[in-house]
């Protein structure tokens, strides 16, 4: 199994299974414990659609047949699991947050030893903030402890993320920070003329998205012999569009080698 970074370059919207029951809200996909995740089927569909335009000769071999010629492809794709989640703080830019559960899932899938961290402490990689109080918007983090990201067991971080702006919080706090970092955008439809009440706006609804800079871990493996594996890897490490609303600027991702 090969593991890869999947990094959101723009907001990414993958609709939740209960989106149709949420009225005017269109939430992101989450597991039962509210962990955001990228289903492997969503990633496979997005990559297949892209490959049909750029590598049409390899599509059926990589992803399998369609319709009446359904067959397994040579490439099996895993789910996308969150590792680092950006939270923007006005005047201070982005901090990337994680928790021991997320980090040790990375360690497990990449076949490395679990990280030996105190799951009850808030750790930060900026030494100047050791033992200080840090505010992430309305969330107060008291007496944060400095953790060098490169000493001992190194923290798994892609090169595009600044290693001195990382915060590790207890597992019980991560969902609050996920909600804090989500992109939320209202979508409206306009009347050509005001209605009887004078309104010009109709069908107001909200869309959630993974924030730009969100870092996921994904994986792929092969079934038997893969033809043109070099072409597959080059294609995989290109930019892709994932999820819905790509026509209005959502969905651009980058898959990078770890």
Give 50-69 pLDDT, tens digit per residue. Answer: 999 999 999 988 988 765 55
Query: If you search the block for the tokens 């680092």, which residue do you land on?
Result: 84
Q: Where are the alpha helices (DSSP H) in 133-228?
A: 174-181
Report the sign of the C-alpha dihedral through residues 120, 158, 110, 154, in that order. Answer: negative
Pairing of strands 145-146, 123-124: parallel
Q: Is the pTM of this model over 0.75?
A: yes
Q: Decide if 19 contacts 125 (C-beta within 8 A).
A: no
Q: Which range of residues forms the domain containing residue 41?
A: 2-257
Average pLDDT for 145-162: 93
Which residues partner with 207 through β-bridges? 26, 185
Give the tokens for residue 217.
Answer: 């871990």
Looking at residue 40, the DSSP 8-state letter turns out to be H
Q: Decide if 218 contacts 3 (C-beta within 8 A).
A: yes
Exposed e or buried b per residue across 141-152, where buried means at least 16 C-beta atoms within 10 angstroms of its C-beta = beebeebebeee
Q: How far apart are the first and last CA of the chain?
A: 13
Q: How many CA atoms lie within 13 A of 45 on its CB side?
A: 9
Instruction: Specify the number of domains making up the chain.
Output: 1
- Model pLDDT, residue 229: 86
Give the tokens for residue 44.
Answer: 């496979």
Counting residues of the chain whose pLDDT is more than 70, the rounded percentage is: 90
Q: Decide if 79 contacts 38 (C-beta within 8 A).
A: yes
Least confident residue range of 26-30, 51-55, 85-89, 244-248: 244-248
Query: If you search the block for the tokens 């993974």, which residue do you land on?
Result: 210
Q: How many CB atoms lie within 10 A of CB 130?
A: 12
Give the tokens for residue 97.
Answer: 């947050």
Which residues partner with 146 through β-bridges? 124
């Amino acid at each position: 199994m090969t593991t890869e970074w999947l990094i959101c370059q723009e907001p990414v919207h993958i609709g939740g299974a209960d989106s149709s029951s949420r009225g005017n809200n269109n939430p992101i996909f989450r597991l039962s414990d509210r962990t955001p995740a990228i289903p492997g089927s969503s990633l496979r569909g997005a990559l297949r659609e892209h490959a049909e335009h750029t590598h049409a000769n390899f599509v059926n071999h990589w992803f399998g047949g369609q319709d009446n010629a359904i067959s397994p492809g040579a490439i099996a794709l895993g789910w996308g699991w969150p590792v680092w989640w950006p939270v923007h703080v006005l005047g201070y830019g982005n901090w990337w947050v994680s928790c021991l559960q997320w980090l040790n899932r990375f360690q497990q899938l990449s076949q490395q030893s679990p990280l030996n961290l105190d799951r009850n402490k808030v750790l930060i990689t900026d030494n100047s903030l050791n033992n200080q109080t840090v505010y992430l918007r309305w969330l107060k983090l008291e007496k944060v402890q400095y953790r060098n990201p490169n000493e001992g067991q190194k923290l798994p971080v892609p090169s595009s993320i600044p290693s001195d702006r990382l915060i590790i919080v207890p597992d019980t706090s991560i969902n609050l920070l996920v909600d804090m970092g989500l992109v939320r955008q209202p979508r409206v439809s306009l009347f050509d003329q005001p209605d009887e009440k004078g309104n010009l706006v109709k069908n107001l609804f909200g869309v959630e998205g993974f924030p730009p800079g969100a870092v996921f871990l994904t994986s792929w493996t092969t079934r038997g012999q893969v033809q043109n594996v070099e072409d597959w890897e080059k294609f995989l490490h290109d930019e892709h569009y994932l999820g819905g609303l790509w026509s209005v600027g959502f969905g651009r991702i980058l898959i990078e080698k770890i």
